[in-house]
Amino acid sequence: MTMENAMLLETYLKRLRLPTFLHNYAKFAEDAARSKLTYDRYLLALTEQEIAQREENRQTRRITGARFPVLKELADFDFSCVPGLNKQRVLELARGEYLSKAESIILVGSPGLGKTHIATGLALAACRQGHRVRFYNAAGLVNELIQAQDEHQLPRLLATALRHRLIVLDELGFIPFSPVGAQLIFQFCSTLYERVSMIVTTNLRFTDWTQIFGDERLTAALLDRLTHRSHILEFTGESFRFRQRMQREGKGEDGES
């Protein structure tokens, strides 16, 4: 290819917004010549690379947009430490069929058993399947809802939430909500009901949810919506963090003796 044609081609590729094509066409041409590929095979290889790179970029944007505090993979979770948790069921949920039905997942158990890890892993799987996801800490979401209401932006926030396929609500139950906060969380969840899937992690049994929402009728109505067509995973056992701390202390004592 002449220098003039190469410059013209690169100009056109930039205008067409084909950056991967632009970056690879010369190298692929050399490889094609060595391998004696036909023109159509050369063009197909370039196009496949462009498509693959675009999907990778979209996936990266979805994961970044979800705002995970920490990325945690299901493959890294030690299911042997939570024997009551059905690994096969978790992996089945990771396939994402619940998302097409707007079903939810509720992870219930004491702190330190990996609920956030599993929730994040499931949400990451959803991102990689092409779904739009948003991760919230429960207390942080309440603050956002209150601020949105004060600034007359609550309808906009709720409309944005509806554009997602999955919302993660983490650590529900650690901090009691004010009456206004409880009502806003109820409104948020009611808006998503049967339209957007949710993953909720909580350290409280359902019978104790009045401790965070206060109002019994509101709590009952919220539970009715959240538990309808939901998958409930219970976490029982000894806290990972407590176990690791005891192991570190045990090693320290061994070193001193």
49 and 172 co-located in one domain: no
pLDDT tens track for 193-232: 999 999 999 999 999 999 889 889 999 999 999 999 899 9
35 found inside a domain: yes
Question: At 94, is the pLDDT very low, low, confident or very high (cuts 50, 70, 90)?
Answer: very high
58 and 79 co-located in one domain: no
Query: Is the pLDDT confidence value at 120 over 60?
Result: yes
251 found inside a domain: no
pLDDT tens track for 239-255: 655 555 545 555 555 54
Q: How many CB atoms lie within 10 A of CB 85?
A: 22
Domain boundary among 66, 84, 105: 66
34 and 144 co-located in one domain: no
Question: At 257, is the pLDDT very low, low, confident or very high (cuts 50, 70, 90)?
Answer: very low
161 and 42 co-located in one domain: no
120 and 226 co-located in one domain: yes
171 and 97 co-located in one domain: yes
20 and 85 co-located in one domain: no
33 and 123 co-located in one domain: no
Alpha carbon distances (Å) from 229 to 103, 193, 214, 253: 6, 10, 25, 50
Range 129-140 average pLDDT: 96
**Domain ranges, residue 191:** 74-243
Structural domains in the chain (count): 2
pLDDT tens track for 52-64: 888 888 999 999 9
Closest listed residue to residue 123, CA positions, set 24, 235, 198, 218:
198
